[in-house]
């Protein structure tokens, strides 16, 4: 089990983590990870929220691109249910992808709500990537760390 809190410094996270879909080497693995999570989400009405398996799969592919890229560049897949990745320092990290910078306050508000539900064991670190769903480019917008009350950009 990985720690959800850390006193380590996060200098490594100030690196540019932007990438292109073309940088993903193991596209079959990416698709499989996305489908596995889509099936888990689709299996319960509370998480599927009326969406088809294909709609959920498309959403998972979108977010899992960043996870797959990180896994291929030395991060670890966090295999716990609904968890994303483990950074090189051993910390659980939540990965979020959104279409534009204007969505970030809403993404962070959802992260804060999830973090405050302690049973979720939500990570203290959130990476946000921007992708407009038309381009192959994923821009690492920022790294956010839990302050005890909210997520703050490093």
Q: Which residues contact 59 (CB under 8 A, 6 or more apart)?
A: 38, 51
- How is residue 126 annotated by DSSP? E
Q: What's this model's pTM, rounded to 2 decimal places?
A: 0.88
User: Would you state the structure tokens that stand for residue 120, as one six-digit string?
Assistant: 């979720």
Residue 14: predicted pLDDT: 52
Contact 133, 103 (CB under 8 A): no
Q: Does the pLDDT of residue 108 top 90, yes or no? A: yes
Q: What is the pLDDT of residues 118-142, one digit of tens each?
A: 999 999 999 999 999 999 999 999 9
Q: What is the pLDDT of residues 9-20, one digit of tens each?
A: 444 545 678 999
Mean pLDDT for the stretch of residues 21-40: 96
Cross-strand bridge partners of residue 98: 130
Q: Which residue has the higher pLDDT, 2 or 51?
A: 51
Q: What is the pLDDT of residues 77-104, one digit of tens each?
A: 999 988 999 999 999 999 999 999 999 9
- Report the C-alpha gap between 148 and 93 in whole angstroms: 16
Contact 133, 96 (CB under 8 A): no
Give the three-state DSSP class for 103. helix
């Amino acid at each position: 089990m990985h720690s959800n809190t850390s006193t380590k410094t996060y200098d490594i996270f100030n690196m540019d983590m932007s990438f292109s879909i073309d940088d993903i080497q193991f596209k079959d693995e990416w698709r499989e990870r996305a489908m596995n999570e889509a099936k888990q989400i689709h299996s319960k009405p509370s998480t599927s929220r009326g969406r088809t398996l294909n709609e959920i799969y498309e959403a998972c592919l979108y977010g899992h691109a960043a996870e797959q890229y990180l896994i291929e560049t030395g991060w670890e897949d966090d295999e716990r249910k609904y968890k994303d990745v483990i950074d090189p320092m051993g910390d659980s990290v939540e990965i979020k992808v959104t279409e534009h910078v204007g969505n970030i306050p809403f993404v962070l508000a959802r992260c804060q709500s999830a973090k405050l539900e302690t049973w979720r064991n939500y990570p203290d670190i959130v990476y946000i990537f921007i992708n407009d769903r038309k381009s192959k480019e994923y821009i690492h917008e920022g790294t956010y760390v839990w302050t005890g009350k909210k997520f703050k950009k490093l």
